[in-house]
Amino acid sequence: MNARNQRICAWAGPVAALVWLVGLLALARFIPPIAPSLGPAEVAARYADNAVGIRAGMVCVLAGGALYGAWTAVITVQLKRIEGRSSVMAYTQLALGAAFIIIFVMPSVFWQAAAFRPEDNIEITQRLNDLAWLCFLIPVPVITVQGLAITLAIFGDRSPHPVFPRWLGWFNLWAQLIFLPGTLIPFFKDGVLAWNGLLAFWIPVAVFTVWMITLSLMLFRAIRDEERQYSAAGYARRLSP
């Protein structure tokens, strides 16, 4: 095994979350989000006032999306330890994790396009802003199915020394349910289910952050355990006649 490379990929998750925070909060100033109830002139003014910051922030969001791919890869490796040869949940998680990267790529491009010429046509700027936020928050089923694949793999681990603790499966399932209100944001321009609302943005974002950190910590533990098992197996082979 290559524990070093696995640890590098496990670190990619927390680093991605940090990079997203820098891009969305510090540079683009998209936290709190631009309210969906604002008119074209107000939206265009927000972009014009911070055009450079938004463009730079989206570079960070794109970088974080790429790091998410590395994080997904190490999750797949550890899930394959559970499932063995027929690793259907590991590959399901990998496929959905790869698709989830697009959720960061496409909105970033739309946000950058809106900040490129924000006041030339304010209606187009508003529509690009709408498109970016909808692309960013609506595709909840992608992360939900990815999370469910992880959960099912954890629950299917019947070994004496499971790769992940069983409570992580329940935590993972709970997190996916918290994300689901994001699918309703096309129906609301204000309130708790709007894209800047409590149930559609603030709580899911907080839970997503905790989910990534928790799963990363469990990945480090799983890699450490695998390393010990690999070393013990190598020592046993050297002792065998």
**Is 230 among the domain residues?**
no
Q: What are the pLDDT digits (tens) for 6-18? A: 999 999 999 999 9
Q: How many domains does the chain have?
A: 1
Output phi, psi for 163, to 5 deg. Answer: -65, -45
Q: Is residue 202 part of a domain?
A: yes
Report d(CA 20, CA 105) in Å as an integer: 12
Please tell me the least confidently modeled range out of 24-28, 103-107, 144-148, 232-236: 232-236
What are the tokens at 8?
Answer: 């590098």
- Check residue 233 and give its pLDDT: 59
Q: Is residue 128 part of a domain?
A: yes
231 within some domain: no
Asked whether residue 232 is assigned to any structural domain, the reply reads no
Rounded CA gap, 239 and 199, in Å?
58
Quote the pLDDT of residue 95. 97
Q: How far apart are CA 220 and CA 8, in angstroms?
A: 10
Of the candidates 138, 94, 130, the one whose C-alpha atom is nearest the C-alpha of residue 113 is: 130
In a domain, 110, yes or no: yes
DSSP-derived secondary structure for 74-102 = HHHHHHHHHHTT--HHHHHHHHHHHHHHH
Global pTM value: 0.91
Contacts of 55 (CB under 8 A, 6+ apart): 112, 115, 116
Q: What percent of the chain has pLDDT over 70?
A: 95
Average pLDDT over residues 126-134: 97
Q: Is the pLDDT of residue 49 over 50?
A: yes
- Residue 211 is which amino acid? W
Kindly provide the b/e burial profile for residues 110-142, where b requires at least 16 CB atoms within 10 angstroms of the residue's own CB. bbbbbbeebeeebeebbebbbbbbbbbbbbbbb
Per-residue confidence band for 241, with pLDDT thresholds at 50, 70 and 90:
low
How sure is the predictor about 146, in pLDDT bands with cuts at 50, 70 and 90? very high
Question: Which structural domain range is residue 119 located in?
Answer: 3-224
Q: What's the mean pLDDT in 49-68?
A: 96
The answer to whether residue 209 sits within a structural domain is yes
- The answer as to whether 24 is a domain residue is yes
- Give the pLDDT mean for 45-61: 97
Task: Indicate if the pLDDT at residue 107 is higher than 60.
Answer: yes
Q: How far apart are CA 32 and CA 19, in angstroms?
A: 17
CB 98 within 8 A of CB 62: no
